[in-house]
Structure 1
Amino acid sequence: MKRIKTWILAAMAIVLAVSLNSCDKSEEPITNVERYQQSVDNTVKTGKKHDKVILLVAFGSTWQRAFLAFDNTVAEYKKAFPDYDVFLSFSSAICINRAAAGEHAKDEGEAKAEVRHYYSPNFWLEAFGRVQYSEIIVQSLQVIPGEEYGRVINYMKDFANNSLGDLDDAYLKKVTLRLGLPLMADADKDVKALAKALDANYANYAKQGVVAFMGHGNPDSYDIYKANIRYTQLEEALQKINKNYYVGTVDMKDNFKTFVRDRMVKAGVSKGRVYCTPLMSISGDHAHNDMAGNDVAKTPFQPNEEGEVEDTSWKMYFKTMGYDCSNETQIMNGLLERENVRQLWMNHTKNAEKVDYYHSKNPE
C-alpha cells in the first residue's frame, strides 16, 4: 500500500511538472517583432474594406504637427482613391521607437505630442499578403529618390520574395504590385511641377525677401541614386520664376546653409529679410531644430572641413550674418501641408509603375 501511494505521488509530481512547464511555455513573452506584426495584422484585418490597398511610406517624425499632417494625408488619400484602403508606415526605426516612447509627450504648447505607434513597411506588406489584397501600391513620400527611397524598393522586393516564407506563392505570382515615385523623381517634369507649386505658396514672401528652402539631402556616401542634384535643379527652376528663391540642405555636400549664403552674396544679396521653410514632407526635428532652433555657435563662426557651421540653426546663422531672420520669418509648413504639393505625390500614385519583383527574384 505504501508503495502504491509512492507511485501515485510520483505520478502526480510528473503531471504537475509537465503542467508547469506547459504554463511556462505558454506564458513566454512574444518578441517585439511578433507583437508588431500582430498589431499590424489586426489593424489591416479590421480596416480592410476593399480589395486594393495603398501604403504610404514616410521617413517618420515624433512631432504632433507631423502626426496631424500624416493623418490629414491619409484622409485625403482615402477621398482621392475611394476604391483603396490606405495605411501609413515609417521607414525610420528611430522615429518609430521615439514616437512610441512619446518623445515630445511632455513638451508644452504646440510641441506637445501624442504617443503614437507606427510600424515599418515590412510589417504592413506582410499583413497585406496575409489577407491577400489583389493590388498593392506603395507610395514613397520621400522628396528625392535617395537613400530612403532605396529602402522602400528593398522592402517591396523582400515582400515579393516572401522573406518570411509564410505567404502563398501562388498569390505572390498574381498580386499586382505598384510603386509610386518620390516627389522629384524626374529631373525635368517633376522638378518644374514642384517649382510651380512652391511659387504658388511662397510668391508673396519672395516679393519681400529671400525664401530659403531647407531640404535634407544625402551625404555623398549615401547618395546611392545621385539624387542630390535635384536640389540644385529645383533652385535653378525656382530662380527662373524669382531670383529670391534658394534651396539648401542639412546633409548634401557643398549645399549647406553657408553655401546658400555664398550664392546669395554672389547675387548681391548681403542683407535683407530671409524666410526659412522646410523642403521636407513634414515639419519635424530638422525644421524645429536645424532650421528654426535657437542654437548658435561662438562667433566668429568657424566652418568645419566641409564648410558647414555646426551647432547653429539656419535662423541664427542668417541672423548673425546680418540678415533679418527671426521667429517671424520661419515658415513651418511641411510639404504635405500644402495641398497643391500633396497633389503631386497623388499624381505619382495615380501613375504608379507596375513592378514585377517576384519574377525578377524568382526566375522561372
Structure 2
Amino acid sequence: MKRMISAVVVLAMVLFGANAYAHKEAREMKKGILLVAFGTSEASAKVSFQNIEQKVKKAFPGVDVFWAYTSHIIRHKLAKQGEMILSPAQALATMMDDGYTHVAVQSLHTIPGEEYHDLTMTVNGFKTMPNGFDKLILGFPMLGTQDTVAKAVDAVIATLPKARKANEAVVLMGHGTHHPGNVYYAAMNWQLQQKDPNIIMGTVEGYPELGDVIAWLKTKKSGKVWLMPFMSVAGDHAKNDMAGDEEDSWKSQLTKVGFSCETVLKGTAEYDAFADIWVSQLSNVMAHFK
C-alpha cells in the first residue's frame, strides 16, 4: 500500500512539473539570426560574408545578426590574430543566455554535406534544452532542394565572365566531400550542361576530380579555359589550389597539358545572384516567427 501511495505521489509530481513547464509564462518575442559559415582566414575573401550580411540586415531590419564558423582550424587561426569567432554551439549558448526566444540559424554552406550535418545535430541539441529557445529553426544551405539547384544554375550562367566566348570552356571548382551530399555537384553539373555544354563542375575533395575534368576538356575544341570557384568565398582553395603557381594547382596542371587558363577570384557569395538564394532560404525560416 505504501509503495502504491509513493508511486502516486511521484507520478503527481511529474505531471505537475510537466504541466507547469507546458504552461510556463510566455516571454516577449526576441528574434535573432545566426549566420553559420565554414569560415575563412583570408581577409580579402570576407567581402563575400559582408555582402550576405548586408542583404540579411536589409531583408530583416531590427533583427540582431550574429556569426559563427564551423571550422575549428580557422577559428583557432583567427584567435591567434586577435579575432574571436564563436562556434555554432558557443554562439547559440550566448544567444540563449541573452534571452533570444526565436532564432533562425542560416547555413552559408554550399551543399548539405558534413559541415551542415554536424550543424543540424548542434541545433537539434539546443532544441531539447529546458527553458531554452521558444523556436529554433535551421535554414537549408544554398543547395538544399531541386528549386535551389535550378536557381544556382541560373546564377552561374548569369555571372560568367563577359569576356568569355561561347566556345570557351568554364571549369567550376567546388570543394567536394566524401559525404553523400557530394551528389549535389553531379546534379549541378548535369543541369549546367543542359544550358551550356561547355561548363563543367569539378571538386577538390570529391567527384568529379580534376582528372575527370581534364579528360572532358580534351574532348572540346577550345584551347582556353576559364577557372572559377564554386565556393562562397575565394579563399585558400581558390587562390592556391585553383589559381596558384604551384605545380599541383589546377591552373598549372591544365597549362601543362596545353590549355590556356584565365582565373576568376571571386566567391559565389560576392554575387547577388547567389547571395539571394541564401537569403531566400533564411526568409523561409523567418516566416515561422510571426
TM-score range, shorter chain: 0.7 to 0.9
> Is residue 76 of structure 2 the alignment partner of residue 97 of structure 1?
yes
Q: Is the 8 A contact 2:47 2:270 kept in 1?
A: no
The aligned runs of 1:1-364 (5 Å cut-off) are 51-102=30-81, 116-162=83-129, 169-172=130-133, 175-186=134-145, 188-202=146-160, 204=162, 205=164, 207=166, 209-219=168-178, 223=179, 226-253=180-207, 255-265=208-218, 268-269=219-220, 271-296=222-247, 312-325=248-261, 329-352=262-285
Deviations 1:170-215 (A, max 9, x none): 344xx111111011111x2111110011101116325251111000
Matches of 2:196 and 2:34 in 1, distance apart?
A: 36
Matches of 2:277 and 2:243 in 1, distance apart?
A: 26
**With CA pairs under 8 Å and 6+ residues apart, which has the higher RCO, 1 or 2?**
2
Matches of 1:191 and 1:58 in 2, distance apart?
A: 19
- Largest Rg, 1 or 2: 1
Deviations 1:32-82 (A, max 9, x none): xxxxxxxxxxxxxxxxxx921111110011101222322332222111111
Task: Read off the aligned partner of 1:316 and give its amino acid letter.
Answer: S
Shift of 1:295: 1.2
- Structure 1 residues 120, 170: closer, same or farther in 2, change over 3 A? closer
Alignment-derived partner of residue 37 in structure 1: none
Q: Is the 8 A contact 1:178 1:354 kept in 2?
A: no
Alignment-derived partner of residue 11 in structure 2: none
Shift of 1:351: 0.9
Matches of 1:72 and 1:343 in 2, distance apart?
A: 10
Matches of 2:83 and 2:201 in 1, distance apart?
A: 32
Matches of 2:210 and 2:221 in 1, distance apart?
A: 14
Compute the TM-score of the two structures, normalised by the length of structure 1. 0.68
- Structure 1 residues 146, 231: closer, same or farther in 2, change over 3 A? same
- SS of the equivalent of 1:202 reads coil
- Structure 2 unpaired stretches of 5+: 1-28
Matches of 2:260 and 2:154 in 1, distance apart?
A: 26
- Structure 1 residues 150, 244: closer, same or farther in 2, change over 3 A? same
Q: Is the 8 A contact 2:169 2:222 kept in 1?
A: no
Q: Is the 8 A contact 1:51 1:134 kept in 2?
A: yes
Matches of 2:68 and 2:221 in 1, distance apart?
A: 43
Shift of 1:334: 0.3
- SS of the equivalent of 1:229 reads helix
Alignment-derived partner of residue 13 in structure 2: none
Task: Read off the aligned partner of 2:136 and give its amino acid letter.
Answer: L
Compute the TM-score of the two structures, normalised by the length of structure 2. 0.84
Shift of 1:257: 1.1
Matches of 2:79 and 2:264 in 1, distance apart?
A: 27
Matches of 1:262 and 1:58 in 2, distance apart?
A: 33
Q: Is the 8 A contact 2:126 2:132 kept in 1?
A: no
Q: Is the 8 A contact 1:206 1:244 kept in 2?
A: no
- SS of the equivalent of 1:227 reads helix
Q: Equivalent pairs: percent with the same residue?
A: 31
Q: Is the 8 A contact 2:192 2:199 kept in 1?
A: yes
- Structure 1 residues 207, 338: closer, same or farther in 2, change over 3 A? same
- SS of the equivalent of 1:351 reads helix
Deviations 1:2-41 (A, max 9, x none): xxxxxxxxxxxxxxxxxxxxxxxxxxxxxxxxxxxxxxxx
- Structure 1 unpaired stretches of 5+: 1-49, 103-114, 163-168, 297-311, 356-364
Matches of 1:353 and 1:261 in 2, distance apart?
A: 43
